[in-house]
A and B are shown apart, each in its own frame.
Chain A
Amino acid sequence: MKRFLTLLLSALIVTGVFGEPGQKELWIKANNSYLQALYQEALDDYLMIEEMGYTSSKLCYNIGNTYFKLNNIPRSILYYERALKIDPSDADILNNLSLAKEYTLDRIEEVPDFIVKTWFRNLNYSISSDGWSYIAIFMAALTALLLLSFRFSSLSRTRKISFFAALVALLISAGSFGFAWTQRINSQKMNTAIVMRPVSTVRSSPDNSGNTLFILHEGTKLEILEKIGDWARIELSDGRQGWLSLPDIEII
């Protein structure tokens, strides 16, 4: 049992917060550069961390800020959206994203979400996916213990309490598992994108000869429905659809 615990602990540390020392130093260096308004240098360091294969909502948020300071609004929106994808309930990200969106040209009415859905999402994203996974594991272990207590206790009151507690723990475990899994699915969705070209033409068919339906400007968020070759069928949040060439957009 003791050996198992040490194994678990070391596994947690390995998959946990700080892996290599390099990116931590880069992170501090980049933050200092940002503080001294050396935005280009800060950006280079942040992007180096990203290239090493790491990501986090805070990293994306800082990259978004740096792009904003460098006046690259569409990229800053892209990175704010990426940060939001990892943590959709962070107030700072939401604030800065709405500020960056002020600088975009296209105004598209977004339908607000159903309030219960928002609550649920906020509850879900109040803890990270991995956090929920740990809760699920802990609750599963608790359920097992309580079930043992239910099975082998001689006192009938203890048995009764253990049974209901086990039931609750099982439900929490299942719920946590569901939250963790939902976060994973959401983050692996590749169906939203940001327009990167200052002016891009949305056509009625996936080739350059198609009729021009409307024109989008940089920084506009859209949903990708399908892809054919170099073209993507996109939908705006107000429901209009069309074909846009893939190099014009960047997937969040």
Chain B
Amino acid sequence: MIAYCYKKIVLLAGAIILSLGAYAQHTFKLDTPGVVASDESFRIVFTANGECSDFNPPDLSDFDVLAGPSTSTMSSTQIINGKRTETFQISYTYILQPKKTGKYTIGSATVEIAGRRYSSSPATIEVIKGEGSAASSSNQQIAGVSSEDIFMRMSVSKNRVVKGESLVVSLKIYTRVPIAGFENVKFPSFNGFWSQEIETPSNIEFVRETVNGKIYNAALLRRYMLLPQQTGTLTIDPSEMICQVQVRSQSSAPRSVFDDFFDNYQTVRKRVIAPAVQVTVNPLPSGAPASFSGGVGNFSLDARLTRDTIDANEAVSLIVSIKGSGNINLIEPPKLIFPPDFEVYDTKITDKSSKGGGGASGSKEFEYPLIPRGSGTFKLPPVEFSFYDINKKQYVSLSTGELKLRVGAGKDSQSGYASLPAGVSKQAVRSLGTDVRFIKTDSPGLNKSGKFLVSSPFFYIILGLILFLYLLIGRYISKKIERNRNVAFVKNRRANKVARARLKTAEALLRQNQYAPYYEELHRAILGYCSDKLNLLPSELTRENIAESLRSKAVKEELVNELLSMIEACEYARYAPDQGGGAMENNYEKAIKLISELEGQR
């Protein structure tokens, strides 16, 4: 049973290997050390991925070939979580020794894999002068480890940047002695910078490099991208760590037989410090546009609406994307002013930037979710974004065109928003901003300050004048009334006087009680008065004439009638006997009153 299963697996694996082999990516490459000493032998390895034939080596006449090509094959099959990977490698190894110092290029080798020819890329090998023997130097017993044997170096890509321009800092360790491990690693702190690790190798790979003519094993520890946030000369603090360096012990004790077999290594702790690096950060030039928010680099701007025709109360998004290289991860969403009737929700930011050796590049998307509450055609104002172009050394302003959004009336509340009560769509008038009310532009009503009519002499003069006029007019009126009263009195008295003078003879006759002559005299006196007053001749003195002229002088009708009856009574009494009983007396009084009144009429 088990054997059967095993057979099956082997069959399966074989089938997979065969099928995968046809599709596998074939590569052919050359591995060389970059730097070698002139007295050192080294290996170069051509590695082919896949079953190959017809290996055609390059020209190696610059070197002495000590051995090779020796061929080795390696195949492996992995099945992890059902995913199978299969590798098949053939490597051709040469062991070479340089003839002299200098730079040499190993040309490309060719190989045929699965019917196709592949060639390796050429590699350069630098041969430097060997310092005696590297092996013998390690054999010499070194008690301590000098700072030339192991050191750390911090390198910046640029020493002079403007604020916001990205730079890359690499922290590398160089060593010529074997290292067992690290302790108390203190990475630098970047004060005044926004920093991000862009490379943190999980296993440290040593590469040979020459520094000052010596070969070191160099390894990258960290790589950071920095964005200066302050101006001036900024210092990147030194970083330090303690390396456990293995040195061969130098014991004075007699060496035992075993000591010769087993090297007696001792671990020495060595503090390694990478010196501080200074970076000069220049401020951005003045004259930044209003929409500038710190972007430095080279960007392009694009804005679009997810839909350009929607119904009211539906959601739509405005997507603003900024692409380019620079401090893209520090770019803030552009400030947009939407029509007041729009509900705007929190901006969603998607950062699709990648950090490489030259700073970050990629794109950043800002999504503004909107819900228009009213219908109509809205023009969204252009999105503006400005940045400082490092290459052109000037500010660049980008602007998108106006975006049009057509908002339909929305569905009826009955169909689309049946759950909402009818009054919900009504809203109070919102205050969107406060400001002082506008100035008054009508006539200013200026007054001399501190001047008041009520405290001016003018006011009191007028009041006094009013009082004075009141008294004056009052006095005048009362005097006039008084005088009028006097005039009436005098007039009355004079009229009475005239009447009495006229009737003087009649009065005497009345006293003597002479009946007929009395009435004759009374008749004559009244007619005489009338002829005098009315300017009538005695011949014209008829009753009709008298009445007519009296009426023409607007004398009261009753007075006229009374006068006429009086004249009639006198004429009648002249020829009639005395009736007695004070009739004479009465007629006399009546006549006086009549004449007085007629006189008063004038």
Residue B3 interfacial (CB < 8 Å) = no
User: For residue B22, which residues in chain A have a CB less than 8 angstroms away from its CB?
Assistant: none
Least CB distance, B211 to chain A, in whole angstroms: 61
Contact of B455 among A49, A62, A69, A184 (CB under 8 A): A184
How many residue pairs, one in A and one in B, have C-beta atoms under 8 Å apart? 124
User: For residue B440, which residues in chain A have a CB less than 8 angstroms away from its CB?
Assistant: 58, 61-62, 92
Interface 0/1 of B517-560, CB less than 8 Å to A = 00000000000000000000000000000000000000000000
Interface 0/1 of B402-439, CB less than 8 Å to A = 00000000000000000000000000000000111111
Least CB distance, B470 to chain A, in whole angstroms: 4
Within 8 A of A (CB), among B173-193: none
The chain B residue sitting closest to A141, CB to CB, is B466
**CB <8 Å contact, B449 and A152:** no
* 9-residue interface stretch from A95-103, A198-206, A239-247: A95-103
**CB <8 Å contact, B437 and A95:** yes
Residue B481 interfacial (CB < 8 Å) = yes
Residue A235 interfacial (CB < 8 Å) = no
The chain A residue sitting closest to B468, CB to CB, is A144
The chain A residue sitting closest to B455, CB to CB, is A184
The chain A residue sitting closest to B462, CB to CB, is A137
Residue A56 interfacial (CB < 8 Å) = yes
**CB <8 Å contact, A137 and B463:** yes
Residue B467 interfacial (CB < 8 Å) = yes
User: For residue B451, which residues in chain A have a CB less than 8 angstroms away from its CB?
Assistant: 15
**Docked pose: A113 CA to B106 CA in angstroms:** 101
Interface 0/1 of A47-82, CB less than 8 Å to B = 001000111111101101110110000001000000
Residue A31 interfacial (CB < 8 Å) = yes
Residue B276 interfacial (CB < 8 Å) = no
The chain A residue sitting closest to B451, CB to CB, is A15
Within 8 A of A (CB), among B434-476: 434-456, 458-459, 462-463, 465-467, 469-470, 473-474
**CB <8 Å contact, B447 and A130:** yes
**Docked pose: A180 CA to B455 CA in angstroms:** 9
Interface centre among B452, B454, B456, B473 (most CB of A within 10 A): B454
**CB <8 Å contact, B454 and A129:** yes
Residue B15 interfacial (CB < 8 Å) = no
**CB <8 Å contact, B446 and A19:** yes
**CB <8 Å contact, B449 and A55:** yes
Least CB distance, B481 to chain A, in whole angstroms: 7
**Docked pose: A2 CA to B462 CA in angstroms:** 15
**CB <8 Å contact, B454 and A133:** yes
Residue A236 interfacial (CB < 8 Å) = no
**Docked pose: A17 CA to B459 CA in angstroms:** 17
**Docked pose: A183 CA to B443 CA in angstroms:** 21
Interface 0/1 of A141-157, CB less than 8 Å to B = 10010011001100000
Least CB distance, A180 to chain B, in whole angstroms: 4
**CB <8 Å contact, A56 and B445:** yes
Residue B133 interfacial (CB < 8 Å) = no
Residue A132 interfacial (CB < 8 Å) = yes
**CB <8 Å contact, B452 and A184:** yes
Residue A134 interfacial (CB < 8 Å) = yes
Contact of B458 among A15, A132, A147 (CB under 8 A): A15
**CB <8 Å contact, A56 and B470:** no
**Docked pose: A96 CA to B210 CA in angstroms:** 77
**CB <8 Å contact, A147 and B470:** yes
**Docked pose: A62 CA to B429 CA in angstroms:** 28
Number of A residues near B (Cβ < 8 Å) is 56
User: For residue A102, which residues in chain B have a CB less than 8 angstroms away from its CB?
Assistant: 434
Least CB distance, B113 to chain A, in whole angstroms: 78
The chain B residue sitting closest to A42, CB to CB, is B439
**CB <8 Å contact, A180 and B454:** yes
Residue B477 interfacial (CB < 8 Å) = yes
The chain A residue sitting closest to B463, CB to CB, is A140
**CB <8 Å contact, B452 and A8:** no
User: For residue B377, which residues in chain A have a CB less than 8 angstroms away from its CB?
Assistant: none
Residue B478 interfacial (CB < 8 Å) = yes
Interface 0/1 of A17-54, CB less than 8 Å to B = 11100011001000100100000000000000100011
User: For residue A184, which residues in chain B have a CB less than 8 angstroms away from its CB?
Assistant: 452, 454-455
Number of B residues near A (Cβ < 8 Å) is 37
Residue A13 interfacial (CB < 8 Å) = no
User: For residue A62, which residues in chain B have a CB less than 8 angstroms away from its CB?
Assistant: 439-440
**CB <8 Å contact, B474 and A180:** no
Residue A163 interfacial (CB < 8 Å) = no
**CB <8 Å contact, A92 and B478:** no
Within 8 A of A (CB), among B339-357: none
Interface centre among B441, B446, B473, B481 (most CB of A within 10 A): B446
User: For residue A23, which residues in chain B have a CB less than 8 angstroms away from its CB?
Assistant: 444, 446
**Docked pose: A128 CA to B438 CA in angstroms:** 22
The chain A residue sitting closest to B436, CB to CB, is A96
**CB <8 Å contact, A137 and B452:** no
> Known contacts being A17-B443, A31-B441, A58-B444, is A130 close to B473, with CB within 8 Å?
no
Least CB distance, B441 to chain A, in whole angstroms: 5
Residue A177 interfacial (CB < 8 Å) = yes
The chain A residue sitting closest to B477, CB to CB, is A152
**Docked pose: A56 CA to B447 CA in angstroms:** 6
> Known contacts being A56-B447, A151-B474, A152-B478, is A183 close to B452, with CB within 8 Å?
yes
**Docked pose: A172 CA to B452 CA in angstroms:** 19
**Docked pose: A180 CA to B456 CA in angstroms:** 12
User: For residue A231, which residues in chain B have a CB less than 8 angstroms away from its CB?
Assistant: none
**CB <8 Å contact, B454 and A181:** yes
Least CB distance, B145 to chain A, in whole angstroms: 63
Residue A108 interfacial (CB < 8 Å) = no
Residue A188 interfacial (CB < 8 Å) = yes
> Known contacts being A137-B463, A180-B454, A181-B454, is A53 close to B437, with CB within 8 Å?
no
Interface centre among B436, B441, B452 (most CB of A within 10 A): B436
Residue A9 interfacial (CB < 8 Å) = no
**CB <8 Å contact, B473 and A59:** no
**Docked pose: A152 CA to B481 CA in angstroms:** 9
**CB <8 Å contact, A144 and B467:** yes
Contact of B447 among A8, A55, A141 (CB under 8 A): A55
**CB <8 Å contact, A17 and B439:** no
17 A-B contact pairs sorted by A residue (CB < 8 Å): A15-B458, A24-B444, A34-B439, A53-B448, A54-B448, A58-B445, A65-B436, A65-B437, A68-B436, A96-B437, A99-B436, A102-B434, A132-B454, A136-B463, A137-B466, A148-B474, A152-B474
7 more A-B contacts (CB under 8 A) besides A129-B452, A137-B459, A151-B477?
A8-B462, A61-B439, A62-B439, A99-B435, A128-B445, A152-B481, A181-B454
Rank and list the top 6 A-B pairs by shortest CB-CB distance, nearest first: A180-B454, A144-B470, A133-B453, A55-B449, A54-B446, A130-B453
Residues of chain A touching chain B, judged by Cβ–Cβ distance below 8 Å, are: 4, 8, 11, 15, 17-19, 23-24, 27, 31, 34, 49, 53-59, 61-62, 64-66, 68-69, 76, 92, 95-96, 99-100, 102, 128-130, 132-134, 136-137, 140-141, 144, 147-148, 151-152, 177, 180-181, 183-184, 187-188
